[in-house]
Amino acid sequence: MEAYVRLEVASNGVGIIEFFHPASNSLPGAILNQLAETITACGQDPLVKVLVLRSGGERAFCAGASFDELMAIDNPAQGLEFFSGFAKVINAMRTCPKFVIGRVQGKAVGGGVGLAAAVDVCMATQYASVKLSELAVGIGPFVVGPAVERKMGVASMGALAIDARAWKDAQWASQQGLYAEVFDDVNALDEAVQRLADDLAKSNPEAMAALKQTLWQGTEHWDELLLERAAISGELVLSEFTRNAIRAFKSA
């Protein structure tokens, strides 16, 4: 199957945004841009009351950035443009006046952890382990860091970022605040996500928008902050260390 971003809006106003990429839902720039544009459009659509963000497939929610595109970067401007993709998606969710529910059915790596952290409430299965692997390839979770830190705290974010080769299980992620609930299987997860989405679709849109703005208070500078962080990653990805590390990861 080819990569895609799909939107389906139910009659009650629940909008489901699904993204997919055959390489464990790793995300190239075009898909990140489409994802950000879709979230922004839904935020402006009065027919959409609440959003659900999910990915296709069974065991991988999102493997982070596309290694193929990382290897193709050959100057800082290209690096900034690529890493701005995750910044755009995070900021789109942050500024969207509708609540975004995250449905994480499997493992989340790097930028995938950032997406899980940037939704307003995130539910997962027991298979949804997390890893911030950026340091292991010579970069760092600079762009997603603010979202992860906001949701999990500095200590937990630091534990993930520094031990970049280690997985933390879904229960650990829940204890740190990333996941609101963890379910035994995807059927139970989907029932819970649907129940919450249906309830929110009946709520006062103005009240939800005001509550969301309150919950995200203090992040108004993220438009600039995440671009600054993207520039750091865009420089680091050009180093020989990072090039060799990514090659090693791809061949493993």
Separation CA 92–CA 88 (nearest Å): 6
Q: What is the pLDDT of residue 187?
A: 98
Separation CA 147–CA 145 (nearest Å): 5
How many CA atoms lie less than 13 Å away from 213 in the CB half-sphere?
7
Residues of the chain with pLDDT below 70 are 252
CATH number of this structure's domain 4-186:
3.90.226.10
Separation CA 176–CA 71 (nearest Å): 33
Q: What is the pLDDT of residue 248?
A: 84
Query: Is the four-CA dihedral 134, 140, 142, 145 of positive or negative sign?
Result: positive
Contact 19, 31 (CB under 8 A): yes
Q: What is the pLDDT of residue 67?
A: 85
Q: What is the pLDDT of residue 207?
A: 98
Q: What is the pLDDT of residue 252?
A: 65
Other Cβ atoms closer than 10 A to 168? 19
Q: What is the pLDDT of residue 68?
A: 86
